[in-house]
Amino acid sequence: MWSRSFSSDSGDLVDAVVPFMGESISDGTLAVFLKKPGDRVEIDEPIAQIETDKVTIDVASPEAGVIQEFVAKEGDTVEPGTKVAIISKSGEGVTTHVAPSEPPTQEAAAKVEKPPSSPPPPPPPPQSEIQPPKAAPKQPSPKPSATEPQLPPKDRERRVPMTRLRKRVATRLKDSQNTFALLTTFNEVDMTNLMKLRSEYKDAFLEKHGVKLGLMSGFVKAAVSGLQNQPIINAVIDGDDIIYRDYIDISIAVGTPKGLVVPVIRDAEKMNFAEIEKTINTLAKKANSGSLSIDEMAGGSFTISNGGVYGSLLSTPIINPPQSAILGMHSIVNKPMVVGGEIQARPMMYVALTYDHRLIDGREAVFFLRRIKDVVEDPRRLLLDI
């Protein structure tokens, strides 16, 4: 007899439990309930979300029915198989929300008996018998010293627990700083030709492939070319050994309301522009909806981070372990440049490469970034392999 995974069936009542969350995830935090007791739910409809240090996972209703009650609370630490809610398939015996009772009418209020009145208080004593107490001398309030910091009152502050994802990101970034010998090199890229290519072919590209032609695919193709020319940047230190990767999996850093995630473009060296754009579009939508799987974020041999979408002009990105380098893109700004002996306004972008100096020498890093510049400034190099 087939039964749905991670659900306990007791006749009319079934349990909604935490599903399997991945090989490397043992528990999570019950972040939020998407429904409330008494709500009608369909089969496989999400009723709660579990937040882990990598992904957000939905708890789905195993059957169609009505939520009878929740048996866990928001903020609880839960494991796979933990019961979260009880679903009634028939909806019988479910507690419904009762509207607040109406206030009593004036007639009903008049019928309420008043308590017996108490005897009148005794008259006050004559003024001559009253001895007013001596007022205590008022103590002057201490003046803060000139060196004492004036902190804002606590009622103007809010303390909010960090999400598991935010704590995980914080730990990994700090580990990166503590482990790697981080060094960043910079260059400047003229975006004229890539932007012209995009402008001329964007309509035909969209019509044929069903996805918009962006700038990111050009940088991914340039990064693939650079990694093939400088394979040490695609490698990583493992103990006393160096692991050279004969594949190129490029992680794309995506900022979400819950934190930074880095989904991976697998085998990017085998993809064309359209395949890269489709993959980026799919991964970005999943990242923003919180539906990325563990497999879609695992691994990665090199990362590209585009701070330019937020207006960043220049930055020094931090390596995403266990990688050895990360490319930082930035905003495009029109600047006066000397072209053919004349000053012209050109759309320029600063690019940055942060690398592990224990493994990668400055020569390889500069050559790699120079290859990025050459390919982006003249995409025809990809066709001619020069």
The conformation of residue 163, written as its DSSP 8-state character, comes to P
Phi, psi of 159 (to 5 degrees): -110, 120
Output the CA angle 106-112-118, nearest 5 degrees: 125
> Torsion angle of alpha carbons 107, 112, 115, 120, nearest 10°?
0
Residue 357 designated active-site: yes
Residue 209 designated active-site: no
Task: State the Cα–Cα distance between residues 229 and 156, nearest whole angstrom.
Answer: 55
Annotated catalytic residue within 357, 374, 378, 385: 357
Is 144 in contact with 150 (CB distance < 8 Å)?
yes
**Cβ neighbours of residue 223 under 8 Å, at least 6 residues apart?**
250, 268, 302, 304, 327, 372
Place of tokens 């005897």: 119
Peptide bond into 140 cis (omega under 30): no
Own/partner long-range contacts of 203-206 (Cβ < 8 Å, ≥24 apart): 205/273, 205/274
How far is C-alpha 263 from the chain's CA centre? 11
Closest CA to 56 of 290, 285, 258, 284: 290
Task: State the Cα–Cα distance between residues 101 and 115, nearest whole angstrom.
Answer: 25
Residue 336: beta bridge partners?
Answer: 345
The amino acid at residue 172 is R
Annotated catalytic residue within 175, 203, 295, 361: 361
Closest CA to 49 of 297, 258, 254, 295: 258
Structure tokens at 131: 């001895």
Count of beta carbons in the 10 Å neighbourhood of residue 66: 21
Active-site positions read 357, 361
